[in-house]
Amino acid sequence: MSGGLLVAGTTSDAGKSVLTAGICRWLRRRGVRVAPFKAQNMSNNSAVVVGPDGRGGELGRAQAMQAAACGLDADLRFNPVLLKPGSDHASQVVLLGEAVDTVTAGNYHEVRARLATTAYAALAELRAEYDVVICEGAGSPAEINLRDGDYVNMGLARQAGLPTIVVGDIDRGGVFASMFGTVALLDAADQALLAGFVVNKFRGDRGLLQPGLDMLRRVTGRPTYGVVPWALDLWLDAEDSLAYGRVLGRPPAPRGTDWLDVAVVRLPRISNATDVEALATEPGVRVRLTVEPAELAAADLVVLPGTKSTVADLAWLRETGLADAVRAHAAAGRPLLGICGGFQMLGRAIHDAVESRRGTVPGLGLLPVEITFEPRKTVRRAEGTAAGDVPVHGYEIHHGRVTAADPGLAPLLRYADGTGEGARLGTVYGTHWHGAFSSDAFRRRFLTEVAEAAGRTGFKVAPDTSFAAARERTLDLLGDLVEEHLDTDALWRLIESGPPPGLPFVPPGAPPAQ
């Protein structure tokens, strides 16, 4: 077979990514050869894929997570177009893994046709190789100002003949209005593909919800395929920045007598913030995102995460008073970690003629290194060791490179060939590696050292925490939610046979897309 389905949403962060992953895991359990697909993603959370030629490329982290749900290694075709916002007005275009251009709202239409052609070709290849491809939309399909030229939502569904379901987040309120409005704002050809709905994040008595579901069916002629309950454990690999709360996950109780408090600065253009999720899986480690300088004072560890715009976010640190709070934290001898762009901020100077084009900008001066931005981006997986014998793996995505460092400055990590990477000076640490904390032994060693430096003598790392196992439990939970709360027989008929014939038109409808 060559089945398919598009999972669209009433809004960003409605649950498209997790529902897509859950459907993928459910199908895999049935023995179906299934793959995920998102024509265009807009996110600074990306993963690295190494292609057949040995070169690294980027795709959205959500599609890497969905690939894992399918039991597959990530493939750049799963997310052929990735837009990485560098400011409020411009985004870097990553096409099949490689950064090729920068677009703005003004010139996006000039490159859109090329992007659409690449996306359609990638989907066609995947449908020829797999039994089923589960596609994820972007934002809402009812963004009528963007419908002309759309190749991500209903434009993709129409081009590939995909039945479409719309997921809505009831926890935000207004789910019935947004579902009805989504249908009513589509033209007749698009409405003919929209088969029904899924309600996400429901808390309460299902019986109280049923009258609304019945009325939604009467006014749209479309069923609700299921109601997915609120699940507290679904927080790993959160794609949309809206998904980040102040505290990550539900921290388990400490194994010792002390908690370890980690404050992560929520930069405006934060990227790959999932780096710190591995820390949050450890018992007794409380990880919170913050933009308040006062909250850094009480933290045991402060983390400056990655960013798509190092120089701009460094200026924001200074404007908000966070830069002074970071310096004060380090001056007190308390642990400070910079990852990728955060590491670059910790140096003496940043020479940037590529990303911000602001030339030389002083850093925070907490590590004796200088960073130079180069036109070609480093995109690769990394393996090596820490502290001599602790295995570490991760990945790199950055333009900046260390071009000057004080002799004798200790590296934080070492590549497999023995070359040093990153830096450590007292209790200040920096690395370009993302994902290093998913290496269990390294994470435990680092947290033990941090706790000692912070005076948390009662903190004990758990010897049995596995980040890979935690991620697999999340994927299994998603599959369970689909099996238990969706009408999977009806879902299978959609995937196998396409949109049901005779779906009614809901007025007023939009003019036909060009």
424 half-sphere exposure, CB direction, 13 A CA radius: 15
Mean pLDDT of the chain: 92
Kind plus residue range of the DSSP H or E element containing 307: strand 306-307
Q: 53 or 172: whose pLDDT is higher?
A: 172
pLDDT, tens digit, 9 for 90 and up, residues 164-214: 999 999 988 899 999 999 999 999 999 999 999 999 999 988 889 999 999
User: Can you read off the two tokens belonging to residue 400?
Assistant: 């900046």
Active site (annotated) includes residue 432? no
Residue whose pair of structure tokens reads 């071009």 in the numeric block? 403
Kind plus residue range of the DSSP H or E element containing 498: none
Encode burial over 213-226: b for 16+ CB neighbours within 10 A, e otherwise: beebeeebbbbbbb
State the catalytic residue, choosing from 24, 70, 135, 340: 340
Question: How many other C-beta atoms are found inside a 10 Å radius of the C-beta of residue 173?
Answer: 9
Q: What is the pLDDT of residue 243?
A: 46
Nearest to 176 by CA among 206, 203, 197, 205: 197
- Categorize the per-residue pLDDT at 242 as very low, low, confident or very high, splitting at 50, 70 and 90: very low
Task: Return the SS3 of 320.
Answer: helix
- Categorize the per-residue pLDDT at 247 as very low, low, confident or very high, splitting at 50, 70 and 90: confident
**How many whole angstroms separate alpha carbon 254 and alpha carbon 243?**
25
- Those residues whose C-beta lies under 8 Å from the C-beta of residue 138, and which sit 6 or more positions away, are 12, 38, 39, 40, 41, 42, 152, 153
pLDDT, tens digit, 9 for 90 and up, residues 102-131: 888 778 878 888 999 999 999 999 999 999
pLDDT of 240 above 60: no
Active site (annotated) includes residue 399? no
pTM: 0.92
- Categorize the per-residue pLDDT at 513 as very low, low, confident or very high, splitting at 50, 70 and 90: low
- Those residues whose C-beta lies under 8 Å from the C-beta of residue 52, and which sit 6 or more positions away, are none
pLDDT, tens digit, 9 for 90 and up, residues 59-108: 999 999 999 999 999 999 999 999 988 777 788 899 998 888 888 877 88
Contact 203, 171 (CB under 8 A): yes
**How many whole angstroms separate alpha carbon 293 and alpha carbon 323?**
8
Q: What is the pLDDT of residue 239?
A: 58
Q: What is the pLDDT of residue 514?
A: 60
Residue whose pair of structure tokens reads 């929520």 in the numeric block? 266
Inter-CA distances, 189 with 32, 138, 158, 186, 513, Å = 30, 19, 8, 8, 9
Q: What stretches of 130-174 show up as alpha helix (H) in DSSP?
A: 154-160
DSSP state of 434: B
Q: What is the pLDDT of residue 361?
A: 96
